[in-house]
Amino acid sequence: MSDLTAPATAGRRLSAALFRHPWLKLVLMLGPPLVWLLVVYLIALTLLLATSFWRLNVLTSQIEHVWGFTNYQTLIRDSVYRTIVVRTAGMAAAVTITDLILAVPIGYYMGRMASRRTRAILTLAVLLPLWSNYLVRMFSWKIVTAGGGPLESLLHVLGIDGSIAFSNWAVWLTFSYLWLPFAILPVFAAFERVPGSLMEASNDLGARGWVTFRRVVVPLVLPGLVAASIFTFSLTLGDYITPITVGNGYFIGNAIYNYVGTANNLPLAAAFALVPIVIMAVYLMLARRLGAFEAL
Amino acid sequence: MSKPRGVLAMLGVLMLLAAACGEDNGGSAGGGGGSGEQPEVFSYDENAQGEGALSLIAWPYYTEKGIVKPFEQETGCMVDVKYGNTSDEMVNLMRQQGGTAYDGVSASGDATLRLIAGGDVAAVDVDSFPGYENVMPSLQAPSHNTVDEVHYGVPYEWGPNVLMYNPDVVEPAPTSWEVAFEADSPYAGKVTAYDSPIYIADAAMYLKANQPDLGITDPYELSQDQFDAAIELLKQQSQLISKYWALYTEEIDGFESGDMVVGTAWPVNQNLILSDGKVPVESTTPEEGVTGWADTWMMSANAEHPVCMMKWMAYSLRDEVQSFTAVAFGATPSVTTACTQLEGDLADAYGKDIADEIYPVYHCGEDDYLSSIYLWKTPLPDCGDDRGQTCVDYSAWTTAWTEIRGAG
């Protein structure tokens, strides 16, 4: 009874308005993230796409707002860009495969075999490297793979002479290490979601361990594996710090960085930046087909 | 399935709008130097009142506390420094916010002409600076900072890009750049080179001596076939390279870990490796010659603190300032009277024995040596001789450099 005569404070008036106009509630909730998505992301991407059609005036170093396909012609004509893309995409694929191979046993153990306590400890162990800075982890691998470093000594003991410093091997090792937590977690989540009853049922029907794994578990965790691969693939595709610090070859990011910084040739950089965007768009469409988005 | 189509349509409209409108590109400073009219020339006035602040872009070690603090106390101009790691970075920074973000820059020759042509830097009256007559003759009006007899800055320090090597591994001591360029080099896989398009000039300089029928006279002004030959040489060289160094710390790390044993170096890299004491290094000027750099303090055409900048330029010409930076960076002073000061400062820093060893490497006051160096300058289409406007310009250099680095 006392509520009916309660004073109409600002808070009460606001809550009444929101109740009477549900669309206002929707706007207030979705508005900020949509604005962020639109302004910061989509419009920035659109400007990038627009810039890729413009040209750099060589004499004045200013961008000419003249529509044209010169940049795309350059990308197609010079074979070095194909080399860079193949090197980058190839490394991304190699790192993805490596991390998945490493993540599956760990994820399986964490998801299906570990006790609650062990699982918590392992989760902490997997996430612990992420507490330290990316640069710290990358530089430690630079030291490990450098000439005269621990890796070279280890290889020497195994009878392999020669240094892998500044080679693609070093870059591959570093990337595999950097993105491993991002690969393990979705795989672990996927394995955890497999109902134990299904595996028991498969056992009852006469399938032994490996057959159960192959025909029951793998199709169920495949979306999770694909989700994990999205992380490792896209992170490797766009990285430019590790290739130039731990390695020596140019990746897509290094070429773009060079064009933006050294040459101030933003149109060509923008055109080249669209290449990884297109690659990832194709990759994500395939991933969606395989159901990865439900597993994220 | 009209939703994706709607989104795509919206994106397309946005794109067309963006392309049609076209925003201003990051602040174009000034109206471009050289439209015929004389630029405004700034004179140094020691009695002028400073604005109280100064914002500089400098190479690392060029603005050490030892010289900045006395300057601040003397003039009241509080100095704020942004370190640039490459010439290209410095050019971009100078152009930001219409040239008002930074008052001055210690520009190397591959940046100066671009800044002058872009109208980004101000002309100065060098005779108004006390002690300018003591500047080395080759640096009083060098082509990299003086255009049509108009000066655009005062010289600071200079240095060569020497051939540095680890004497424990590289024997006998090299006398030619061939150990870094030729495919049969005994040190293949452990060579290093400077990671910048301007390094193409080093290849051109090597070809000038070893392929004279190409007819290269100026390694920065190359006709197309000379340029193509240099690019071929660099692509061949990339097979020998363990790692290109862009930051000077990369070369120091490389030599100390043993991944690099020979290659192009700045004197500061040699000084720092020697002071770390982990590996021995020596350097030499090979028979083909060396490229090098001579840095100029230039003032922005739209500087917010011009009086403080002029005071800094005058201050930078003093003997003790030139010598201090020479010891810190391993560069050589541009002022001949600073050489005695340099000898003393080196002895204080490293002890008499090492100082006696490294002082000759500075070639302080040796105008002949300086004239023999192929100083960095921006490659322009204007060849400067009877070939006319047919030379390869800097943007082609950067594109070619990306091709060399991307293919390896």
Convert the pLDDT of each residue in B83-130 to its tens digit.
Answer: 987 888 888 889 888 888 999 999 998 889 888 888 899 999 999 999
Q: Compute the half-sphere exposure of residue B221: CA atoms within 13 Å on the CB side of its CA.
A: 14
Mean pLDDT over residues B269-275, rounded? 85
Q: Which fold has domain B41-158+294-360?
A: D-Maltodextrin-Binding Protein; domain 2 (3.40.190)
- Residue B124 in 3-state DSSP? strand
**Domain spans, chain A:** 2-43, 73-295
Q: Do B408 and A248 touch (CB under 8 A)?
A: yes
Asked if pLDDT for residue A123 goes beyond 70, the answer is yes
Type of residue found at B347: A
Tokens of B345: 């400062």
Q: Which of A262, A265, A274 to mutate to test the interface with B (most CBs of B within 10 A)?
A: A262
User: Cα separations (Å) of B308 from A289, B46, B55, B127?
Assistant: 64, 10, 9, 18
Work out the percent of chain A whose per-residue pLDDT is above 90: 46
Q: What angle do CA B380, B382, B385 make, to 5 degrees?
A: 130
Q: Do A248 and B22 touch (CB under 8 A)?
A: no
Inter-chain contacts counted by CB atoms under 8 A, chains A and B: 99
Average pLDDT of the residues of chain A: 89
Asked if pLDDT for residue B378 goes beyond 90, the answer is no
For residue B243, give the DSSP letter. Answer: -
**What's the pLDDT tens digit per position in A227-238?**
999 999 999 999
Architecture in CATH for domain B160-292+376-407:
3-Layer(aba) Sandwich (3.40)
> Which range is least confidently modeled, A287-296, B45-54, B178-187, B371-380?
A287-296
Mean pLDDT over residues B304-318, rounded? 94
- What ipTM does this complex have? 0.75
Instruction: Please report which confidence band the pLDDT of residue B32 belongs to, taking 50, 70 and 90 as the band edges.
Output: very low
In CATH terms, A73-295 corresponds, of 3.40.50.300, 1.10.3720.10, 1.10.10.10, 3.40.640.10, to 1.10.3720.10
**What's the pLDDT tens digit per position in B332-363?**
999 999 999 999 998 888 788 778 878 888 88
Report the Cα A249 to chain-centroid distance in Å.
21
d(CA B240, CA A82): 23
d(CA B401, CA B394): 10
A85 near A249, Cβ under 8 Å?
no
Q: Beta strand pairing status for B123-124 and B374-375? A: unpaired
Q: Which positions 241-270 of A are in contact with B (Cβ < 8 Å)?
A: 244, 248-250, 254-255, 258-259, 261-266
Mean pLDDT over residues A91-114, rounded? 94
Type of residue found at B396: A
Q: What are the backbone dihedrals phi and psi of residue B277, each rounded to the nearest 5 degrees, phi first? A: 75, 15
Secondary structure tally for chain A: helices H, strands E: 16, 2
Mean pLDDT over residues A164-189, rounded? 93
Q: Taking the model in full, what pTM does it have?
A: 0.81
Q: Do A255 and B196 touch (CB under 8 A)?
A: no
Which own/partner pairs from A277-282 qualify as long-range (CB within 8 Å, at least 24 positions apart)? A277/A45, A279/A85, A279/A89, A279/A237, A280/A233, A280/A234, A280/A237
A240 near A249, Cβ under 8 Å?
no
Instruction: Tell me the torsion sign for CA atoms B140, B146, B148, B152.
Output: negative
The predicted structure's pLDDT at residue B315: 94
Q: Do B242 and A166 touch (CB under 8 A)?
A: yes
CA-CA-CA-CA dihedral for B120, B75, B79, B53, to nearest 10: -70
**What's the pLDDT tens digit per position in A235-277?**
999 999 999 999 988 999 998 988 776 667 888 899 999 999 9
Query: Which is higher by pLDDT, B218 or B98?
Result: B218
- Locate the chain A residue with the closest alpha carbon to B20: A65
Of the candidates A54, A149, A249, the beta carbon closest to that of B257 is on: A149
The predicted structure's pLDDT at residue B22: 46
Nearest in space to B334 (alpha carbons), one of B303, B305, B292, B300:
B292
**What's the pLDDT tens digit per position in A184-220?**
999 999 999 998 898 889 989 988 888 888 888 888 9
The predicted structure's pLDDT at residue A282: 94
Residue B118 with chain A: CB contacts under 8 Å: 60-61
Residue A266 with chain B: CB contacts under 8 Å: 25
d(CA B121, CA B153): 8
Q: Do B14 and A42 touch (CB under 8 A)?
A: yes
- Locate the chain B residue with the closest alpha carbon to A149: B257
For residue B318, give the DSSP letter. Answer: S
